[in-house]
Amino acid sequence: MNHSDTVHVPNSRRQVGRTTAAAGLALCVATALAACSSSSTTAGSGSSSSSGSGGSKVGVSLILKTLTNPYFVSMENDAKAAAAKDNVSLTVAAGTKDGDTQTQISAIDNAISRGDKGILITTNGDAVNAALNQAKQAGLFVIALDTSPNPPSTADITFATDNVQAGKLDGQYAATALGGKPAVIAMLDLFNNQVVSVDIDRDHGFLQGLGINPGSTTQNGQEAKTGSYSGGSYTVACHQPTQGAIDGGRTAMENCLSANPNINVVYAINEPAAEGAYNALKAAGKAGQVAIYAIDGSCAGLKFVTNGEFTADVAQYPGKMASLGVDSIAKLARGGSKPSVTTGKSFYDTGTALVATKSVSGVTIQSPTDAASACWGS
């Protein structure tokens, strides 16, 4: 399902790049990065420090993957706003990097001993499960944000976005916008050297939106290379990894264009990859002639929709996940009911919206201006 965060997180994962060749060095560099990054356990609006008065104050811990990424910073900001509104004493902690479970476990232990009513967490890995189970036994309500833990029952509920649905919205729009013309598609994925759910979900969602069978449930690039989509015939020109970064997106798009100059549809795993693709198309004199489809919904990304760099962008709402989480625990602690999952899904879907400037029939769109009220980052 989700895991949309990995797309935005630079650190250690990205490091495992093309030159995995120099394996020994790769190992040491990975270790080096592991030791780096910034801000661990950042005390947010500190709990114990803030007023012992107002007996009804509810303690909530927000435990993020990292704080080096606008996606999680957005969660932190919106959670703080919700905490102020709900009379919640919020403690914010974060791993030092993607995969840092030890810092998260300490933060969970702290939440238990502090007597918090609930935990909101974007887990860095399965190693936190035991600590989360202890928290549940101690009576804390555990909400996973953005990504379901493995197994999902480790959390009481997950608040997340549906990445398959996000890809589908882009794909449906693309199919309609083509108006029956043959589609020559470049698929700019995240990685080629590891399987990440968000990568697969968005890629497959996009193909499904076009009416193309992905040919696999666990791998990218298994669809038939040619065939027919819902509006006509299609060719998949390439699947190239981008590492979710601008330079990777650019190189990937350049290689795709060399392989097939007739590409008219670009799927990009995230906004930076889409931006790189745009740079490549612009340099090739094809800016504006090729439709670029992105996913993320950051404030910066919406501007690219407004100025026509991206044909469409699917917005997701990390801040909403966090603020809803704070609201839910505050309500529950004051005698309210537990939040429940979205009908037909195993998690509470915080929603996605297709943002575009031109409307096409049969697809609901949101204007960049309307979407900007809920965008994240700056």
248 near other proteins, rule: CB under 8 A:
yes
User: Is residue 155 at the binding interface for other proteins, with CB under 8 A as the rule?
Assistant: no
Shortest distance (Å) from residue 45 CB to other proteins:
19
Question: What are the respective helix, strand and coil percentages of the chain, to the nearest 5?
Answer: 40, 20, 40
> Binding residues for other proteins, how many (CB under 8 A)?
58
Longest distance between any two alpha carbons in the chain, whole Å:
67
**Residue window 55-74: x/- pattern of binding to other proteins, with contact defined by CB under 8 A:** -------------xxxx-x-
Structure-block tokens of residue 172? 């449906």
Among 165, 162, 93, 163, residue whose Cα is nearest residue 128: 93
Does 22 bind other proteins (CB under 8 A)? Our answer is yes
With binding defined as CB under 8 A, does residue 245 bind other proteins?
yes
d(CA 203, CA 198): 8
**Footprint (CB under 8 A) of other proteins, residues 259-298:** 259, 272, 275-276, 279, 283
* From 1, 10, 75, 296, residue interacting with other proteins (rule: CB under 8 A): 10
Contact 339, 348 (CB under 8 A): yes
Closest separation in Å from C-beta 93 to other proteins: 18
Nearest distance from C-beta of residue 308 to other proteins, angstroms: 14
Closer to other proteins by CB, 47 or 240: give it.
Answer: 240
Tell me the H-state helices in 271-317. 271-283, 299-306
- The sign of the dihedral angle between the CA atoms of 333, 348, 220, 199 is negative
Stretch in the footprint of other proteins (CB under 8 A) among 122-130, 131-139, 252-260, 325-333: 252-260
* Residue 157 CB, nearest approach to other proteins (Å): 28
Q: How far apart are CA 175 and CA 294, in angstroms?
A: 15
In the complex with other proteins, which residue's Cβ is closer, 245 or 326?
A: 245
- The C-alpha atoms of residue 372 and residue 296 are separated, in whole angstroms, by 12
Burial of 311 (0-12, 13-18, 19+ CB in 10 A): buried
Q: Among 44, 95, 171, 244, which residue interacts with other proteins (rule: CB under 8 A)?
A: 244
> Does 251 interact with other proteins (rule: CB under 8 A)?
yes
* Residue 59 to residues 34, 45, 190, 273, 316, Cα–Cα distance (Å): 31, 11, 37, 39, 27
Binding mask 193-222 for other proteins (x = CB under 8 A): x---------------------------x-
Site for other proteins in 158-197 (CB under 8 A): 192-193
What's the min distance (Å) between Cβ of 180 and other proteins? 27
Q: Based on CB atoms, which residue is closest to other proteins, 10 or 149?
A: 10
Q: Is 210 left (phi over 0), alpha (psi -120 to 50) or beta?
A: alpha
Does residue 8 bind other proteins (CB under 8 A)?
A: yes
Q: Is 224 a residue that touches other proteins (CB under 8 A)?
A: no
Taking alpha carbons only, the member of 339, 350, 328 closest to residue 58 is 328
- Residue 306 engages other proteins in binding (rule: CB under 8 A): no
Instruction: Print burial letters for 338-357: b (CB count within 10 Å at least 16), e (below 16).
Output: ebeeeeeeebbbbbbbbbbe
Of 42-50, 84-92, 124-132, 240-248: span binding other proteins (CB under 8 A)? 240-248
Task: Name the minimum Å distance from CB 341 to other proteins.
Answer: 30
How far is the CA of 348 from the CAs of 148, 153, 168, 198, 321, in angstroms?
Answer: 10, 13, 19, 17, 9
The HSE-up count of residue 86 (CA atoms within 13 Å, CB side) is: 24
- Interface residues with other proteins (CB under 8 A)? 8, 10-11, 14-15, 17-23, 25-26, 28-29, 31-33, 35-39, 68-71, 73, 192-193, 221, 238-241, 243-248, 250-251, 254-259, 272, 275-276, 279, 283, 300, 377-378
